[in-house]
Chain A
Amino acid sequence: MIQLKLVRPLLGALLSLCAAMPVATQAQSVAVTSIVEHPALDSIKDGVKAALEEAGFTEEKGLNWQFQTAQGNTAIAAQIARKFVGDRPDVIVAIATPSAQAVVAATRDIPVVYSAVTDPVAAQLVESFEPSGTNVTGVSDMLDLERQIELIRAVVPNAKTVGMVYNPGEANSAVVVKQMREMLPEYGMTLMEASAPRTVDVGAAARSLIGNVDVIYTNTDNNVVSAYEALVKVGNDAQIPLVASDPDSVKRGAVAALGVNYYDLGLQTGAMVIDILKGAEPGEMPSQLSEGLELHVNLQAATKQGVTLSNDLIDSAANVIR
């Protein structure tokens, strides 16, 4: 640790020196892989590319950019990892847990920047959020659950039971549900779970919560996000307010969401990629959490789902749908 404390300012100084210099003209290559194509994950890819372009790494100037998705298939994710390692790019960006694991298992020397992995430590990508000392670093989209619970309480101050619809087969959701189960009692609330292993189960799972819960909270579960309208229907019909974790769901009918803007997460990931392209060692860069959380609220949905939002909450929102 003592050594690292010395190294980091030195590195910082070196980086700012590099930043002051014009970008090297030699061809550099960034390979991006994602487990599936879906709006949030695609926004990350777009954010990474935008950050690179902003910093002068464009394809016109010789940046070799490639993107591959495994189309939901882990065996293909493994093959993409092999292809990338064979191509020897300067940085590999791996989006979502299975893709990141495949890449990290395939190379110990090419720099890897993971993104949108909720729990990189549990996924064994890094040993902790400290600098890893290996070829791996990245950005986690883990949400600060205290702030999520505060939002739930701000929307429904008297809530006793929080309902959650989620896919038990999704690593990201399992982590959130486990933590919520442990944390909610501290706030005098309990959790009621409803599992939806397929997108078509989301509506039925939500209906099973009617009468038992005061509010339905959802994390960024892929199934739930894909079938959010089914949840909105239940929320509107049964007057249960919906609190989500991704801002897009607010447009679709959630009352409020305090969530990661995935495009910004991509920009943040891109900034790490740029540092590495400019010579930083991934092993000396600590893993990061998402910086920009945005609050979105939907007043129409609030009326339909029987809650009145406080002015404080509405004022602090980045986006209010009236």
Chain B
Amino acid sequence: MSLYSMWGALEIGLIFGLVALSVLLSFRILRFPDLTVDGSFPLGAAVAAVLIQADWDPFLATLMAVLAGALAGALTAWLNIRLKIMDLLASILVMIALYSINLRIMGAPNIPLIMEPTVFSVLQPEQGISDYVFRSLLMIMIVVIVKCALDAYLVTRSGLAMRATGSNPRMARAQGVATGGMVILGLAIANALCALGGALFAQSQGGADISMGIGTIVIGLAAVIVGESILSSRKLFFMTLAVIVGAVLYRFFVALALNADFIGLKAQDLNLITAVLVTVALVIPLLRKRLRVRGGG
């Protein structure tokens, strides 16, 4: 595997790390199976791309993308809390609606950003560092900031109320937590993170495409589960770290699968190889446990 492809895996992995944090928040902390992310990821990309093409500052465009994502998440939660639509169905409805909305926003199925200024190109130093290394370093910074902010929020009063809402809603209500409001806030944050990922992905990959969202939830869940199996902890700091590591690892698996031609595998086997690699990652902790049990006995 070349250095370039490793940096690429790191960069894209970190972008999907934001998606993984989003899924951790909705799926694990709030216990809300949220498929909105399949729509809010391309929503972020669409909003950022359209605004950048309209000569907005890329940072402001990214911020607007984040707000759009928050709105989408809040809508899903609202459908669930106020209109009593089942959580999974509410998120599917918003996801489907977002496909059309994204097309409306973009006005075309594909908006290129190859020749436009992006957060990456604006910050890129003239000399001393190549763009592919720089993009990864910038992503590390962004993800660290987001992770720390999320960690910090989740130990505030409101953050603790959100965690209580997820783990035991009845108890939380008994303690005076407005659980409905917490779900709305939580999904808004989760989808804002996901839209941030989409906005950054579009800016690093040359454009927004309507098909970008397909399978976002699957990748997000894979990252969460791989991360948890490798670094399982009840501590918040390690939980958020684990899912980011999971997202990056997943991308390394894909990069590895792309380089698997030397063992006679072909292009069409890619998804299969990725699935096998992830399965192996999931089985490792189990094997380790068995070995430990045997060693102990």
A residues lining the B interface (CB < 8 Å): 37, 66-69, 71-83, 85-87, 97-98, 101-102, 104-106, 122-125, 127, 168-171, 173-174, 197
Q: Which residue of B is nearest A69, CB measured?
A: B267
Cα A72 to Cα B211 in complex, Å, equals: 8
Of chain A, the residue at the smallest CB distance from B261 is A66
Question: Judging by beta carbons under 8 Å apart, are A79 and B99 in contact?
Answer: no
Per the bound structure, the CA–CA distance linking A76 and B270 in Å amounts to 10
Q: List B contacts of A69 (CB < 8 A).
A: 267-268, 270
Given contact pairs A86-B3, A97-B110, A79 touches B8 in the complex (Cβ within 8 A): yes
CB-CB under 8 A from A72, the residues of chain B are 211, 214
Q: Report whether B112 and A122 are in contact in the complex, using a CB–CB cutoff of 8 Å.
A: yes
In the complex, residue of chain A having the shortest beta-carbon distance to the beta carbon of B109: A171
Q: What residues on B are CB-neighbors of A101 within 8 Å?
A: 110, 112, 114, 205-207, 209
Task: Give the Cβ gap from A226 to chain B, nearest Cβ, in Å.
Answer: 15
Set of chain A residues within 8 Å of B206, measured between Cβ atoms: 101-102, 104-106, 124
B9 at the interface (CB under 8 A from A): yes
The answer to whether B270 touches A82 (Cβ under 8 A) is no
Residue contact A169 to B268, C-beta cutoff 8 Å? no
The complex places the Cα of A123 from the Cα of B108 at a distance, in Å, of 11
Task: Enumerate chain B interface residues (CB-CB to A < 8 A).
Answer: 1-5, 7-9, 12, 16, 99, 103, 108-110, 112-115, 132, 201, 204-207, 209-212, 214-215, 219, 251, 254-255, 258-259, 261, 267-268, 270-271
Q: Is the CB of B214 within 8 A of A78?
A: no
Q: How far does the alpha carbon of A66 sit from the alpha carbon of B259 in the complex, in Å?
A: 10
Which residue of B115, B254, B261 is within 8 Å of A79 (Cβ)? B254
Residues of B within 8 A of A85 (CB): 4-5
Question: Which residue in chain B gives the minimum CB-CB distance to A74?
Answer: B212
Known contacts A76-B270, A168-B109; decide if A86 and B211 are in contact (CB<8 Å): no
Q: Return chain B residues, CB-CB under 8 Å to A105.
A: 114, 204-207
Query: Which residue from A75, A125, A173 sits with its C-beta under 8 Å from B201?
Result: A75
Number of A-B contacts (CB under 8 A): 127
A79 near B211: Cβ-Cβ < 8 Å: no
Closest Cβ of chain B: how far from A205's Cβ, in Å? 15
| Chain A residues positioned under 8 Å from B8 (CB to CB) | 78-79, 81-83, 86, 106
Q: Could you tell me the dominant secondary structure of chain A's interface residues? A: helix
* A124: B residues at CB distance < 8 A: 112-115, 206-207
| Inter-subunit contact B267/A67 (CB<8 Å) | yes
B65 CB to closest chain A CB, in angstroms? 16
* Contact with B12, one of A79, A86, A125, A169 (Cβ below 8 angstroms): A79
For residue A127, which residues in chain B have a CB less than 8 angstroms away from its CB? 115
**Looking across the interface, which residue of chain B has its beta carbon closest to that of A127?**
B115
In whole angstroms, how far apart are the Cα atoms of A25 and B198 in the complex? 45
Q: 21 pairs across A/B with beta carbons < 8 Å?
A: A71-B268, A74-B201, A76-B258, A77-B205, A79-B12, A80-B258, A83-B1, A83-B8, A83-B258, A85-B4, A85-B5, A87-B2, A97-B209, A101-B207, A105-B114, A105-B205, A105-B206, A127-B115, A169-B211, A171-B108, A197-B99
Bound-state Cα–Cα, A82 to B9, Å: 8
On whether the beta carbons of B254 and A123 are closer than 8 Å, the reply is no
What's the Cα separation between A189 and B292 when bound, in Å?
A: 77
Measured CA separation A79–B258 after assembly (Å): 8
Contact B112 A75 (CB under 8 A): no
Asked whether B251 lies within 8 Å of A79 as measured between CB atoms, the reply is yes
CB–CB A37/B2 < 8 A = no
Q: Decide: A98 near B209, CB < 8 A? Known: A73-B214, A75-B16, A169-B103.
A: yes
Complex CA distance for A63 and B219, rounded to whole angstroms: 36
Q: Which residue of B lies closest to A98 (CB)?
A: B209
- Would A79 and B5 be within 8 Å (CB), given that A101-B205, A169-B109 are in contact? yes
A67 to B204, CA, bound (A): 23
Assess whether A78 is in contact with B5, with CB atoms less than 8 Å apart: no
Which of B1, B204, B209, B212 has the largest count of A CB atoms less than 10 A from its CB? Answer: B209
CB-based nearest A residue for B114: A124
Instruction: Give the Cβ gap from B215 to chain A, nearest Cβ, in Å.
Output: 6
Given A37-B268, A74-B211, A87-B2, does the pair A123, B110 have CB atoms closer than 8 Å?
yes
Residues of A within 8 A of B258 (CB): 68, 76, 79-80, 83
Question: Shortest CB–CB separation between residue B131 and chain A, in angstroms?
Answer: 9
Supply 16 further A-B pairs (C-beta < 8 A) apart from A82-B255, A101-B110, A171-B209.
A37-B267, A71-B268, A75-B219, A76-B258, A76-B270, A79-B12, A82-B4, A83-B258, A87-B5, A101-B114, A105-B114, A105-B204, A105-B207, A106-B206, A125-B112, A169-B211
A55 to B52, CA, bound (A): 44
The residues of B that contact A71 with a CB separation of less than 8 Å are 268, 270-271
